[in-house]
Amino acid sequence: MTERIFHSTTVVLPSGPAREAWVGLDGERISSVLEGASTADLGGAPVEELGDRLLAPGFVDLHVHGGGGGAFADGTDGAAAALVAHRAAGTTTSMASLVTDTIDSLEQQIRALVPLVRAGDLAGIHLEGPWLAEARCGAHEPELLCDPHREDLERLVAAGEGTVRMVTLAPERDGALEAIRLLADRDVIAAIGHTDAADAVIAQALDAGASVATHLFNAMPSIHHRTPGPIPRLLTDSRATVELIADGVHVQPSVLRLAIEASAGPWLLITDAMAAAAAPDGAYRLGPLDVDVVDSVARIRSTGAIAGSTLTLDRAVRFAIQEVGIDPADAVRAASQTPADLLGRPDLGRIQAGARADLVVLGDDRTVERVIRGGVDL
């Protein structure tokens, strides 16, 4: 039974943008979607008129470390602060990312987050490290980086009890290709990132089952016409889904545009946000490292390396539209349906009957005016 109806002249549907659509909600689910229909077709429930404001699916962030002053590595309290901050910005689904730490510490962090995944507060856990390249460590403690030993990998995946959904590693490390095969066998997404790998090694990793490029361009060598490195193959192999950080700090707009147009596989927007997202400048920590945030740019205190972002997905969508020139429906899809599809969640990130009632209302300037998660206004 439809309990309420949203009507907008601009709705992003899985099939593309609709110029006129009526979206019916029944509790926490979308009950029906009709284009150019009358309210009578939806049972005569109360109608909420949105005018020409854009009605989008709730955003899905598969790579986020924290926000609102909290970090997922800090357990329940840190996760709560991060979720509140990102939900206010339209992200109705988050996968908690954890940075490099000791295996013992990562196991504790994973176990602390499992109940939040079970409760539906998180969509899963992403391990970004410790199996990364020292030369491309970025905001990871280089002394803790190591080769992916099977027993460590199995230990952390087992600690998650099925909630570890993605692992980023450098495929050139000893044992990495075997680790990718193990992850694929366990239905865990293997992502390539923080890597110095040659083109041939990237090809081997994709053949082994890797399927994601972690924040393309960042923490990997740039393209050279004789030594291409990871980027060309990750862009031109349709098996790879490409993560992009659209904040103007990590990647310049024209390069983002080039990547989007060149990508043979899907591309999606992430934040890679740390605790300072939707929070003031100041001193923070990212895993075991001290971070200073100045003018909303986070950098490791000891090295000056960029330490994640202070981005929220609504800002990433807005930047993609206004600065990169991406069609609004494509930008929204890259922050909703595409990451949901990668996660294997057809109930998320889309406005269609049966999906969870996660909606974001964007104004003329594409700022968030309203967020609904599971049929509840936030």
Q: Give the annotated binding-site residues.
A: 128, 139, 194, 215, 218-219, 226, 250, 306-308
- Give CA–CA dist 20/18, Å, rounded: 5
Residue in the structure block whose two tokens are 């934040």 = 271
Known binding residues for substrate: 139, 218-219, 226, 250, 306-308
- Give CA–CA dist 158/150, Å, rounded: 12
Catalytic residue among 272, 314, 341, 358: 272
Q: Are 166 and 62 in contact (CB under 8 A)?
A: yes
Phi (first) and psi of residue 185, to 5 degrees: -65, -30
H/E stretch holding 235 reads helix 231-236
Q: Are 130 and 101 in contact (CB under 8 A)?
A: yes
Q: 61 Cβ partners below 8 Å, 6+ apart?
A: 86, 91, 93, 94, 95, 270, 271, 273, 313, 335, 339
User: What would the DSSP string read from start to end of 267-283?
Assistant: EEEE--B-TTTTS-SEE
- Give CA–CA dist 299/302, Å, rounded: 9
Is 199 one of the catalytic residues? Answer: no
What spatial distance separates the first Cα and last Cα of the chain, rounded to whole Å?
Answer: 22
Q: Find the helix packing angle between 103-118 and 76-88, rounded to 10°.
A: 60
Of 136, 132, 144, which Cα lies nearest the Cα of 105? 144
- Give CA–CA dist 289/310, Å, rounded: 16
Active site residues: 272
